[in-house]
């Protein structure tokens, strides 16, 4: 993992697939929808978004297109060696590349500013902090 004021680097588990991100993300969010829970293998998913032109992808990836309950499709890109999903793009936000925050392996990564699909949030979970917007 590399992080400077000017860039951040995300990798898959084996390091074959990389995303070099210029600048800070324009959106960091937590999602509690069932699809994101399945994708992340956790109680929620946290992702950061950059403009497409600010991200350079290197390495080989496999694509999987998933249509959510909403009817919106997203294309997920994962490593063919270790199977980790490194990034995705959605129809709802085609100008952005979303990268799961865990792929940066950075405990100091910026906090989320949005928590969405909270009606599906685990009852024992609280997303707290200054300036976080909460949506049903």
Q: What is the pLDDT of residues 34-72, one digit of tens each?
A: 999 999 999 999 999 999 999 999 999 999 999 987 788
Whose CA is closest to 96, among 61, 49, 55? 49
Residue 46's domain comprises 2-134
CATH number (domain holding residue 17): 3.90.1590.10
- Report how many domains make up the chain: 1
pTM, two decimal places: 0.90
Instruction: Tell me the C-alpha distance between 62 and 7, whole Å.
Output: 24
Chain Cα centroid distance, residue 121: 17
So what's the pLDDT on residue 4? Answer: 53
pLDDT tens for each residue of 100-122 = 999 999 999 999 999 999 999 99
Q: Check: CB of residue 23 under 8 Å from CB of residue 50.
A: yes
């Amino acid at each position: 993992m590399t992080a400077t004021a000017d860039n951040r680097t995300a990798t898959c588990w084996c390091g074959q697939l990389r995303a070099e991100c210029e600048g800070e993300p324009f959106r960091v969010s937590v999602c509690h929808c069932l699809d994101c829970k399945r994708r992340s293998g956790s109680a929620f998913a946290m992702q950061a978004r950059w403009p497409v032109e600010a991200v350079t992808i290197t390495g080989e990836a496999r694509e999987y297109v998933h249509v959510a309950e909403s009817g919106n499709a997203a294309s997920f890109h994962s490593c063919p060696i270790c199977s980790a999903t490194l990034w995705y793009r959605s129809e709802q936000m085609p100008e952005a590349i979303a990268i799961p925050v865990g792929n940066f392996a950075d405990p100091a990564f910026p906090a989320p500013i949005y928590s969405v699909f909270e009606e599906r949030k685990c009852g024992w979970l609280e997303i707290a902090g200054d300036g976080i917007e909460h949506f049903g």
